[in-house]
Amino acid sequence: MVDLYQEFENSRLFHQGRIDRRSADALVGIAAGITADNNVSQQEAEFLKHWIETNLNHYADPVVNILYRRLADMLSDNVLDPAESAELLSMLRQFSGLEIAAATHVQRPSSLPLDQPPPLLDWQDRAFMFTGVMAYGPRKNCESLVTERGGRISPSVSKKLNFLIVGSIGNDQWLHSNYGTKIKKAVELRESGAPIAIISEDYWQAQIFP
C-alpha cells in the first residue's frame, strides 16, 4: 500500500499516537464541536490548522500528521471547496468517533463487507466513489487517478455506482464513522442486485500500481 506522504509510518491507527493526553482530548473535543452541525466551514478549517500549529507542534505523531497535512493541503490555495469540506468532515468525524468508541468500549465490527473475491477493475466509463480516509493521500488525488484512466467519479451511492473504495485508515471503525452509511447503502443495493462492488483501498492501489 502506498502511503504517499508517509503520514502513517510506524503507526497502525491514528488514535494510537503517543501525544500529550490533554492536547489529544482537546483535539477530540474541537473535532466533535466543528462537526456538530454536519458542516466544516473555511473559518473552522483555518481555526483548526492554527490550533494544531499552536498547541501540537510535534508533527511526527500520526494524529497530527493526518489532520495537519491534509488541512495544509486543502488550504494551500486559501479556498476550502465543497469536496474538501466534505472530506474534512468525514476525517474529523472519524477521528472523534474513534476516540469516543475507545472511551466507551463500543463493540466494533471486525471486518468490512468487501466483495470476495474482488472484481477486476474496469476503468472506462465506470463510476467510482471513495469513502473514508485514504492512505494514498487527499481524495482529490485518488479521484484524479481514476479519471486519468477513463473512469468517472460518482457524487453519491446509487444504482449507477460501480465501485465503492473504502479507505485503509481506521476502516475497522466503519459502522461508527460517517462513511459507514455509504457502505451500508452500497451493501443494500448490492444485495438487491445492483452491480456495485465494495473494494478496499489496498486492492485498488494494487490495480493502480501493479
The DSSP result for 98-165, as a single string, is HHHHHHHT----S-----SSPPPP--TT-EEEEESB-SSS-HHHHHHHHHTTT-EE-SS-STT--EEE
43 pLDDT higher than 90? yes
- DSSP summary character for residue 79: -
What is the predicted pLDDT for the residue at 33? 87
Average pLDDT over residues 35-57: 88
| Poorest-pLDDT segment among 12-16, 65-69, 140-144 | 12-16
What is the predicted pLDDT for the residue at 161? 96
22 pLDDT higher than 50? yes
Cα-based distances in Å from 101 to 9, 141, 187: 23, 30, 23
136 pLDDT higher than 90? no
On whether the CB atoms of residues 30 and 48 are closer than 8 A, the answer is: yes
Average pLDDT over residues 142-170: 91
In terms of Cα–Cα distance, which of 92, 78, 80, 84 is closest to 37? 92
More confident: 39 or 8: 39
On whether the CB atoms of residues 195 and 141 are closer than 8 A, the answer is: no
Angle, CA of 111, 171 and 66, to the nearest 5°: 165
**129: phi then psi, degrees, rounded to nearest 5:** -145, 140
Reported as a single tens digit per residue, the pLDDT across 182-200 is 888 888 899 889 999 999 9
What is the predicted pLDDT for the residue at 194? 93
How do strand 197-200 and strand 163-166 relate by DSSP bridges? Answer: parallel
Confidence of residue 7 (pLDDT cuts 50, 70, 90): very low
What is the predicted pLDDT for the residue at 206? 92
Confidence of residue 152 (pLDDT cuts 50, 70, 90): very high
Q: Which three cell numbers stand for residue 28?
A: 477530540
Nearest-angstrom CA–CA distance, 2 and 135: 7
105 pLDDT higher than 70? no
What is the predicted pLDDT for the residue at 144? 95
150 pLDDT higher than 50? yes
Q: What share of the chain is helix, strand, coil (3-state, %, to 5)?
A: 50, 10, 40
Amino acid symbol at 37: D
On whether the CB atoms of residues 35 and 116 are closer than 8 A, the answer is: no
Domains of the chain: 14-104 (no CATH), 127-208 (3.40.50.10190)
6 pLDDT higher than 60? no
Query: pTM of whole model > 0.75?
Result: no
10 pLDDT higher than 50? no
The CB density around residue 82, as the number of other CB atoms within 10 Å, is 8
Mean per-residue pLDDT over the chain, rounded = 77
Confidence of residue 91 (pLDDT cuts 50, 70, 90): confident
